[in-house]
Amino acid sequence: MNFAKGLRAILLPIIDFFYPPFRKIFDLQTFRYLACGGGNAALNLLTFYLAYNFIFQQEVVYLMSYPVSRYIAAYLLALSISFPIGFTLNKFVVFQQSNLQSHVQLFRYAFVTVSSILFDYLLLHFLVGYLGFWATPSQALIIVFLSLYAYFCQTYFTFKTVKSPAEKES
């Protein structure tokens, strides 16, 4: 059994088991996206917490001789774990019908991730620094907005299904 089939065989029955109560709210693909994305976000947050509180003890951490703050080091570590897991879950569990080549999907996934990081940074500075809103509610609002942005980008850009020339004619 290859990796993709094994991953689907393990995760889909578990995720799909919890789907029936949400059937009237979400279609199955959206529910799978929420389950995989939510699990990956929780892993990211847990990794950040452990790295920030237990791995990086100094306020300045040197990564390849470059000084970064402790929270940035924790963020980079969490991202280095959640990025490949998120891509794998989206490719093989959520958007398995996509027929784009893997390197195209990976590039697009990275683009959406980097743009989300940039939007998060800019929106947080705008809401907190310019408008004077509280940081935590602002970040919560941004997370909701960016989750919707990422879902639509992943659905219609990163993992879209391209029709073959024969399908386009019919």
The answer to whether residues 56 and 33 belong to one domain is: yes
Domain count, the chain: 2
Concatenated DSSP letters of 22-91: GTTTS-HHHHHHHHHHHHHHHHHHHHHHHIIIII--SSEEEETTEEEEHHHHHHHHHHHHHHHHHHHHII
pTM: 0.87
The answer to whether residues 82 and 112 belong to one domain is: no
The answer to whether residues 3 and 87 belong to one domain is: yes
The answer to whether residues 57 and 109 belong to one domain is: no
Domain that holds residue 55: 1-96
The answer to whether residues 7 and 88 belong to one domain is: yes
| Residue finishing a domain among 96, 130, 148 | 96
| Residue finishing a domain among 63, 96, 129 | 96
Question: Residue 169: is its pLDDT beyond 70?
Answer: no
CA atoms of 24 and 8, how far apart (whole Å)? 24
Rounded to the nearest 5 degrees, what angle is found at the Cα of 91, between the Cα atoms of 89 and 97?
Answer: 130
Q: For residue range 87-115, what is the model confidence (pLDDT) as tens digits?
A: 999 999 999 999 999 999 999 999 999 99
Q: With contact defined as beta carbons under 8 Å apart, do 37 and 147 qualify?
A: yes
Assess if residue 62 is contained within a domain. yes
